[in-house]
Amino acid sequence: MTDLLPDEVHRWNAVENIARKQFGLVGLKEIRTPLLEATELFSRSIGEASDVVGKEMYTFFDRADRSCTLRPEGTASVVRSALQHGLLSQGPQRLWYLGPMFRYERPQAGRQRQFHQLGVEYLGLASSRIDSEVISIAWDLLLSLGLKGLVLEINSLGKAEDRRNYRTCLIEWLQDNFEHLDSDSQKKININPLRILDTKNVDTQKMLKEAPLLINNLCNESLDRFEKVQELLKALEIPFKLNPRLVRGLDYYGHTAFEILSDQLGAQSTVCGGGRYDSLIEELGGADTPAMGFAIGLERLLLILGNSISNDISPDVYFVNKGYQAETNALVLSRKLRAQNISIELDSSGSAFAKQFKRADRSGAKWALVLGDDEVSRGEVFIKRLRNSHDDKSPKQYKISSSDIDQLINFLKDKIKN
């Protein structure tokens, strides 16, 4: 789990603002659910045989002896919340969320135990057009952030019946190759053989390249649906690659599954994952309701963005001040200027002017306000330019009467704008 220091948080905020704006354009509504849920919610939805539920959850008993889990993902919680509050009786829901998730995985670059997801869930919409719309929301958000080198991979996991048929032929193949499987996968053969397909064991992964493919077991209806999604993606001019081995690591998916990968992430290259989950709402006690969504991993997104997203958190003005009355006046004046949306870093050290000016330079502010006993006795504020502006010929320093606060506000607003 990592700390986000102030420079980083600023970059995160910039991404969040872009996401908020982009989701607003699509008319999505934000939802916030608790970090802690009943363990059963995840074991029922994500599946007992998945790595997430089997090995990665932070689960404990609370004081009333209830099994609780820090959420490892957002979809199950959003569905639980929509059911609990009857949102689905108000018609389809287009929701988004952002927040920390927890998985006890082996940490490495792009993989943390507390990480953040930016997710979208469409509840109550069945059409294949929705699949391509949801994919386009993820794709367009990543493009609007300026990302390049992205690859969209899609697959169809078909209907429950398709997966049942496939399960039989996969079990047969796995049993024939039993001795080559890692021990974890061997245990899953009769519990949930499909979960073996997303094993993290490299040797098993290699050998699974020969395994039968789900796509070859899909019924015509499922294949037609998948065909339609592809046509729509073409109409939207979103390039994609078919990946018949893409199964996703969570049990609730059927039909369209997709991932967006970046060529800049190394081993943890998936920046976004999602798909259709038409049976989850019913499994969690609701009516039969189709759904589709995705989640973007924010840590990975910020890794790819690197320095292309600004982390400038400099104040507009650094306030240098020294002397008993000067320090009081500076405090009062700072409050008035901040109320006018001018950001001020007020030096509260009482140290020598030279030291304060050094800090002013380091702060990144373009302007310094200066108040000392001399300025107080003359009823003035001294203003000094710290950085060169476009207009280099303008004076480097100014004096303004401290009683004319409006003049000072207008002067600073004008200078900051330029």
Write down the least CB distance from residue 208 to ligand HAM, Å. Answer: 18
Write down the least CB distance from residue 181 to ligand HAM, Å. Answer: 23
Write down the least CB distance from residue 393 to ligand HAM, Å. Answer: 50
Write down the least CB distance from residue 144 to ligand HAM, Å. Answer: 18
d(CA 124, CA 292): 9
Task: Please say which residue, 71 or 322, places its beta carbon nearer to ligand HAM.
Answer: 71
Which of 310, 394, 232, 347 lies closest to 18, judged by CA? 310
Binding-residue total with ligand HAM (CB under 6 A)? 26
Task: Please say which residue, 249 or 290, places its beta carbon nearer to ligand HAM.
Answer: 249
- Which residues neighbour 290 within 8 Å (Cβ) at sequence distance 6 or greater? 124, 125, 126, 276, 278
d(CA 117, CA 100): 7
d(CA 271, CA 295): 9
Footprint on residues 92-131 left by ligand HAM (CB under 6 A): 103, 105, 111-112, 115, 117, 119, 121
Write down the least CB distance from residue 95 to ligand HAM, Å. Answer: 10
Task: Please say which residue, 48 or 380, places its beta carbon nearer to ligand HAM.
Answer: 48
- Closest-approach residue to ligand HAM (CB): 297
d(CA 126, CA 289): 8
Write down the least CB distance from residue 161 to ligand HAM, Å. Answer: 21
d(CA 333, CA 320): 12
Helix (H) or strand (E) holding 136: helix 128-144
Helix (H) or strand (E) holding 324: helix 324-338
Task: Please say which residue, 275 or 372, places its beta carbon nearer to ligand HAM.
Answer: 275
Please, are residues 365 and 344 in contact by the beta-carbon 8 Å criterion? no
Write down the least CB distance from residue 326 to ligand HAM, Å. Answer: 50
Task: Please say which residue, 149 or 379, places its beta carbon nearer to ligand HAM.
Answer: 149
Footprint on residues 241-300 left by ligand HAM (CB under 6 A): 249-250, 270-275, 277, 293-295, 297, 299-300
Footprint on residues 56-75 left by ligand HAM (CB under 6 A): 73-75
Which of 219, 227, 221, 165 lies closest to 194, judged by CA? 165
d(CA 414, CA 342): 11
Task: Please say which residue, 294 or 318, places its beta carbon nearer to ligand HAM.
Answer: 294
Task: Please say which residue, 105 or 184, places its beta carbon nearer to ligand HAM.
Answer: 105
Strands (DSSP E) along 34-193, which ranges? 36-38, 58-61, 67-70, 93-102, 114-123, 150-156
Residues forming the site for ligand HAM (CB under 6 A):
73-75, 103, 105, 111-112, 115, 117, 119, 121, 249-250, 270-275, 277, 293-295, 297, 299-300
